[in-house]
Amino acid sequence: MHQSLISKAFIVSGMPHILLAHEQAPGWGRLYQAFQKAREEIEREQADLILYFSTQWLSILGYTFQADPRPEWEHVDQNWHELGSIPYEFAIDTDFAQNYADEVAQLGYKTRLINYRGFPIDTGTIVAQNLLNPHNRLKAAIVSCNMYSEKEETTRIGQAAARALKQSGKKAIAVLVSSLSHRYHVEAIKPRDDRISSRKDDEWNRKILDMLAMGDVEDVAQCTREFARQANGDMKFKGAWWLNGLLGQSNHFQGEVLAYEAVMGTGAVVVGLTPTEPVLAPDLASMMTSSEEGSQAELVDELTDFENQAMSKALKPSARGAEHHAPVSLSPPSATGALPDFEIVSQRGAEPVGLYPHARRYGDLLLLSGIGPRRAGSKDIPGVTFAPDGSVLHYDIREQTRSVIDNVRKVLEDAGSSLEKVLDIQVFLTNMKQDFAAYNEVYNATFKDIRPTRTTVQVGALPTPIAVEFKVLARP
Amino acid sequence: MAKGSIVAGVLAPHPPHLVYAENPPQNEPRAECGWEVLRWGYERCRANIKALKPDVLIVHSPHWPTFVGHHFLGLPRFQGLSVDPVFPHLFRYTYDVAIDVPLSLAIKERCDQAGMTTSVVKNPAFRLDYGSIISLHLINPLWDIPVVFISANQAAFYYSNEIGAQVAADLGHATRAAIEESGKRCVLLASCSLSHRHFVNEPEIPEDMSYERIHHHGQYLWDMKVLEMMRRGQTRELLDIMPEFIEMATSEVKAGCLTWMLEAMGVPDYPAEVHAYGTVIGTGNAVVEWNPMRSGRTH
């Protein structure tokens, strides 16, 4: 039985917001938590080094390899400087850097080992290192991303990494630092208002995540060119080719989407991939075989493959064969579907009266639990006057409705959505005859232009002494 | 206070090779020679700029890319080490730069008034971009004139060349308004190459000129077309075809620096002075000066 050269692989965003400002937006916080989970998983693995390929370290003259044994600096990002400095110090596996450069040189590409004081390591690698390997428990290796390389070349650079691991007798954690869609907001936004730049980008990200959740790394590589064109993939999302080359160009992985969120409009992810079969190094001869890379024929093949896959997904969501797929797990929490599925607990929503979250996101939908007028952190219900025995003396349906809408707004915002994205509302009143007109008046003031579908019913009672509750469905 | 003015604009490309070949004390690597045609062109341009005795040099470079609006430096002095991430074997430069903060903030203010998004760098550990440093060194190696850095908004990269051009034009107009209000005499530097497809290899001796040539003939044709327009004072026509030039010649003007400069200068219709054209690792580079005094125009 061959030993796998890779114990685990990750695709992670390199946006500094996740490291430096994760408390400013719920989505950034969830990415931070996902990084923490990934770090814990890495710490459980028996690996010799952590190998980074970041789309933010660009090279022109072939490939460069970090070979300074202890590069250190106080880094400030060129664009996100207001977030603060990131001091760093890496422990570099210089022997592996040499091995990797030798393997790449054998393929005919220019290589250079970098050992210069003050060489600017890119933000993405620094962010990933700080979050995944903060104390240099593993030595690191870093290779550049050639700005001109296409699929075949980038795949070969990944394959060369596998060969270098084999030559050096080492086992690695592989980390691709790359966003999915890479279109930014062009105006300053409040962190809490962050969202994927466009619905189109979001939909394409989900297609890719669907495949990654299934462990289909090779399929992602096949679709990369079209994805990049449609969703402005980060450096054409060519990192997917590198990762696929390194991982053996197969779909034999267990995929785990730990987080998918927007960071300044880009598609930021933390995805884990665990090999279900050993990752081995290709022999040199097979790597040197010429292909039709870059030709029209290859391009057409790729598009055709992708269109076939997209069509089969659209028509038969569960039709993808299980033969070569590893079991899928999604978190948090685990689920059986491949779509993003996780709980949202709002810091500003009233505490639930049972074991349920404020909201749950499933795919493109945000489902909110029933929300009443009660204030967060107390048992106060706006507009309700209680008698000494605890019974309700009087209530103001207008005030209760306003409070319900305010509570709904807070939960939506904490989930990255807003009132403007509400699609459907079910309203429960305890006294239709007495309260409908007043509730309707308050409702109209907020929703007349948003125009979600609505159903209002009378119920015998609600769980607390409230007179109105909303059940909301929204877009994330 | 007299009205401020733009006394010259320079297309000032920033290949680190030119600084490397010059062997200035600030740069650590040493060279034997190299890219003399471009370097001598820079020397001629440098003399013209010096004669103008400008108060400020304002540089716009694609190597300070920003995604959310334009950024400006808000501290009076930045010191540090600039290492080119692509050519670190050629450029490891120690800098000490004086910033004209009032003018920097005045341009930012004008941008804000025009509805643009801006930001100001206040972190002293911020590293200045190597593109700006190289252009500034080649125009004023003594560093005895205060400078303003303007970041390159990446709108063109995420939307289209046309949108990028409009953003750069708006920035140019804001820059001009702030300069006029400041009473200062300013030189603008558009820090970029023309055609920008590189070779991915390099000779053993980087300054071995027997390897130096344009990446391909199409790039050369486009560079000559554009230079001819500059020489004839046809900058309006040049701005019109800029999106196509960017697309066809992989031009570095995509970052908006040349559009910014020409728009700030009121789209000059007098001939520019082409001091030099040469290739650097396959890219097309020209040192071009728009000088209203030398052309007989008072701007």
The Cα–Cα gap between A132 and A456 comes to: 49
Strand-pairing partners, residue B149, are: B59
CA distance A280 to A2: 8
Cis peptide bond upstream of A333, omega within 30: yes
- Contact at 8 Å (CB) between A437 and A409? no
- Which residues neighbour B165 within 8 Å (Cβ) at sequence distance 6 or greater? B156, B239, B242, B243, B256, B259
- For tokens 């050993």, the residue is A278
From residue A339, give the alpha-carbon distance in Å to each of A159, A307, A330: 30, 20, 8
DSSP A338: S
Local structure of B143: helix, strand or coil: coil
Question: Strand A359-362 relative to strand A365-368: parallel, antiparallel, unpaired?
Answer: antiparallel
Q: Do A61 and B129 touch (CB under 8 A)?
A: no
Strand partners, A263: A266
Q: What is the largest CA-CA distance in chain A?
A: 87
Residue B141 belongs to some domain of the structure:
yes
CB contact under 8 A, A186 and B151: no
Give the fold, CATH level 3, of A6-315.
Protocatechuate 4,5-dioxygenase; Chain B (3.40.830)
Mean pLDDT of chain A: 88
The residue with tokens 């500034």 is B136
Average pLDDT, chain B: 95
Average pLDDT over residues B132-148: 98
Beta carbons of A119 and B123 less than 8 Å apart: no
In chain B the beta strands, taken as DSSP E runs, fall at 5-11, 56-66, 70-73, 77-83, 92-98, 118-121, 147-153, 185-190, 273-280, 283-290
Q: Does the residue B296 lie in any domain?
A: no
Q: What does the radius of gyration of chain B's CA atoms come to, in whole angstroms? A: 18
Of all residues in chain A, the percent with pLDDT exceeding 70 is 88
Output the pLDDT for position A363: 78
pLDDT in tens, B219-237: 999 999 999 999 999 999 9
> Which of these CATH numbers, 3.30.1330.10, 3.30.1330.40, 1.20.120.50, 3.40.50.300, describes A341-474?
3.30.1330.40
Answer yes or no: do B86 and A148 touch at CB < 8 A: no
Cα torsion A78, A235, A143, A14: sign? positive
Please say whether the dihedral angle defined by the alpha carbons of residues B45, B268, B152 and B34, taken in this order, is positive or negative.
negative
CA distance A318 to A321: 8
Lateral strand order in the sheet of A365-368: A341-344, A359-362, A365-368, A468-474, A422-429, A453-458
Q: What is the pLDDT of residues B85-95, one digit of tens each?
A: 999 999 999 99
ipTM strictly over 0.90? Answer: yes
The answer to whether the pTM exceeds 0.80 is: no
CB pairs under 8 A between A and B: 95
pLDDT of B253-298, one tens digit each? Answer: 999 999 999 999 999 999 999 999 999 999 999 999 999 988 877 6
Of the candidates A63, A162, A85, the residue with the CA atom closest to the CA atom of residue A130: A85
Query: Which positions in chain B touch A184 (Cβ < 8 Å)?
Result: 67-68, 154, 158
Whether the predicted pLDDT of A326 surpasses 80: no
| Domain membership of residue B246 as a residue range | 5-290
The answer to whether B185 touches B52, Cβ cutoff 8 Å, is yes
Query: Measured between beta carbons, which residues in chain A are less than 8 angstroms from residue B155?
Result: 186
3-state secondary structure of B95: strand
**Percent composition of chain A: helix, strand, coil (DSSP 3-state, to 5):** 35, 25, 40
Q: Give the C-alpha separation, A38 to A17, whole Å.
A: 17
d(CA A182, CA A162): 28
Residue B63 located in a structural domain: yes
- Contact of B61 with B135, CB cutoff 8 Å: yes
Residue B113: which CATH number? Answer: 3.40.830.10
Task: Name every residue in A having a CB less than 8 A away from some CB of B.
Answer: 57-62, 74, 76, 78-79, 81-82, 84-85, 109-110, 112, 114, 116-120, 122, 146, 148, 182-188, 232, 264
Task: Give the gap in angstroms from C-alpha B146 to the nearest C-alpha of chain A.
Answer: 21
Domain ranges of chain A: 6-315, 341-474
In a domain, B295, yes or no: no
The region, left, alpha or beta by phi > 0 then psi within -120 to 50, assigned to residue B213 is beta
Is B237 inside any structural domain?
Answer: yes
pLDDT tens for A60-112 read 999 999 999 999 999 999 999 999 999 999 999 999 999 999 999 999 999 99
Q: Is the pLDDT of residue A296 over 80?
A: no
Q: How many domains does chain B have?
A: 1
DSSP state of B294: T
- Taking an 8 Å cut-off on Cβ atoms, the answer to whether B88 and A79 are in contact is no
Distance from CA of B79 to the nearest CA of A (A): 13
pLDDT at position A305 is: 43
Q: Does residue B298 lie within any of the structural domains?
A: no
- pLDDT (0 to 100) of residue A197: 92
Chain B residue with Cα closest to A112: B89
Nearest CA to CA, how far is B274 from chain A (Å)? 28
- Give the tens place of pLDDT for each residue, B190-204: 999 999 999 988 999
pLDDT at B46 over 50: yes
Given a cut of 80, is residue A289 above it in pLDDT? no
Asked if pLDDT for residue B299 goes beyond 60, the answer is no
CB contact under 8 A, A78 and B123: no
State how far residue B77 is from chain A, nearest Cα, in angstroms: 16
Would the CB atoms of A184 and B158 count as touching at under 8 Å? yes
For the stretch B47-86, pLDDT in tens is 999 999 999 999 999 999 999 999 999 999 999 999 999 9
**Which residues of chain B approach chain A closer than 8 Å at the C-beta?**
64-69, 71, 81, 83, 85-89, 92, 117, 119, 121-123, 125-127, 129, 151, 153-155, 158-159, 198, 200-202, 281
Determine which helix (DSSP H) or strand (DSSP E) holds A353, and give its type and residue range: none
CA dist A251 and A473 (Å) reads: 35
